[in-house]
Structure 1
Amino acid sequence: MKTLFNIATILFVAFTMQSCNLLSAAGVSSQGQPTKEVESKLTSTTANSAVNVDHSEWDKLLKKYVNSQGLVDYKGFKNNEAKLDAYLKMLSEKEPSNDWSVQELLAYYINLYNAATVKLIVENYPVKSIKDIDGAWTKGRVTVGNKELSLGGIENGILRKMNEPRIHFAINCASISCPKPLDEAYTASKINEQLDRATKEFINSDKNDISASNPKVSSIFDWYAKDFKVNGKQDVIGFINKYANTKINQGATLSYKNYNWELNEQK
């Protein structure tokens, strides 16, 4: 009887561990990472954090290998992979905690996601699409302390829980239809202005066809509709109108553009 109990216990623990791993891969779990929420209007500051992370090396790489159209020189990144690795190693040795400000956490995880995505492409280069890479978003491949995070875990388990929908226009999935990467690193000292810039540029770009009565917008607004709120309530059109040059009628029906998953590479 005791033997049967022990076997049952072992099976239960194994199942629980497997379930937790699956949840993390799917982006449900934060794997113990801090997920502070933006509680009111986000301001840019470095004054309220126990740690100020230096993202200058990532900034230099972005300025060198991302052009004004947001297209990426992956060959250049591959030739300079040692510097990319050094930046990711520096991030991996940090241990984000609740002593960090929400500004520092946002900048850290956005930069981590984007640098790890570039690393994924470089490791598999040449590749036509990130979707051709097995487990691109679900495999644990991003080291933070003693944890291996997945890209999906960083996006869904951490960043989306921080109550800042503009992150959807800051993280880049290495594809043509993704929001273009900025040619600079995100930092706590500029985070609000950078998120505003990324959001405005994306919404008013050719990745959306915005009109008053017949708007056709990016599938991002479909996939993550519940994240786009105005006054605490889901309101995709209201959110878009905060940033769009052309305003959508509130009663209009949104349709969604096909997503181009081809690599966002400089030719």
Structure 2
Amino acid sequence: MKKIIIAIVTILTLSQVNAQTSVFNDLLQKYVSNEGVVDYTSFKADEAKLDTFISYLQKTTPSSSWSDNKKKAFWINAYNAYTIKLILKNYPLKSILDIKEKGKTAWKIPFVNVGGKTYTLDHIEHEILRKTLFDPKIHVGVNCASGSCPKLGNMAFTESNVEAELTKLMKAFVNDTNRNKLSTKKVQISSIFDWFKEDFTKNGSVVDYLNKYADTEISPKARISYLKYDWSLNGK
């Protein structure tokens, strides 16, 4: 009997996760273009639906029984949903850098409520995703709502799609000539590869990492420089 009850609870929990993720997915499909440009004006008019997803996050604590992919998908979705919420709260604005509360930047404001606990965006990215669910591809999953960021994907992450979608986003990012300029002997790349170099060089050099996704074969001796970061809002 106990096993049956556990099975029923598991099925109901999974059903709720899928249903709520579907709400977020629908919003992203509706208001984020294939290029990652967000229609914040229209999104603002539909903010109540985003609040429905955020309400789910507030009541949900990832279980230790969840797979790493399920946890990864959950926390990336949480990061992105709350980032969008913060932008909408302060909209219109030119840059996420314009957001300050009590002297704290957007990433250090304790406003993210997940499972009844309060976090900052920085805590989710650095302490949860980078430390406990390490994967360099999370850097194209979490979105900083800015021009030079890897594009915001117009789909919600799930346990079953997170690996494939992060790979797809990383490949698109590396080969995006607006964000990285690659050639055999010289590369001008996003500052993300400099800021988080330790993540991208766990198993080789930055060039080794780039070559896993680049359409252009880069020489190990290629000259590397980093592009200036565009912090303008990723909106229409």
| Cα deviation code 1:156-204 (max 9, x no counterpart) | 1111111211010111100010011111111111111101111000000
Cα distance, 1:234 vs. partner? 4.3
Measured in 2, the distance between the counterparts of 1:235 and 1:148 equals 36
Which residue, out of 147, 157, 165, partners 1:186? 157
In structure 1, what is the equivalent of residue 7 of structure 2? none
Which residue, out of 62, 65, 72, partners 2:31? 65
Higher-Rg member (1/2): 1
The change in CA–CA distance for 1:210 and 1:240 in structure 2 (over 3 A counts) is same
Measured in 2, the distance between the counterparts of 1:259 and 1:165 equals 19
Within 5 A, what are the aligned runs for 1:1-20?
none
In structure 2, what is the equivalent of residue 166 of structure 1? 137
Measured in 2, the distance between the counterparts of 1:240 and 1:111 equals 25
Which residue, out of 107, 132, 148, partners 2:118? 148
Cα distance, 1:146 vs. partner? 2.5
Cα distance, 1:251 vs. partner? 1.6
- Total equivalences in the alignment: 216
Which residue, out of 97, 105, 108, partners 2:74? 108
Say if 1:226 and 1:234, in contact at 8 Å, map to a contact too: no
**Local SS of the residue matching 2:107:** coil
Within 5 A, what are the aligned runs for 1:1-267?
52=14, 53-54=17-18, 55-134=21-100, 135-161=105-131, 162-206=133-177, 207-229=179-201, 232-266=202-236
Cα distance, 1:132 vs. partner? 0.6
Unaligned runs of at least 5 residues, structure 1? 1-48
Unaligned runs of at least 5 residues, structure 2? 1-9
- RMSD over aligned CA atoms reads 1.4
> What amino acid does structure 2 have at the position aligned with 1:256?
Y
Say if 2:70 and 2:158, in contact at 8 Å, map to a contact too: yes
In structure 2, what is the equivalent of residue 44 of structure 1? none
Could you tell me the TM-score, scaled by structure 2's length?
Answer: 0.88
Larger helix percent: 2
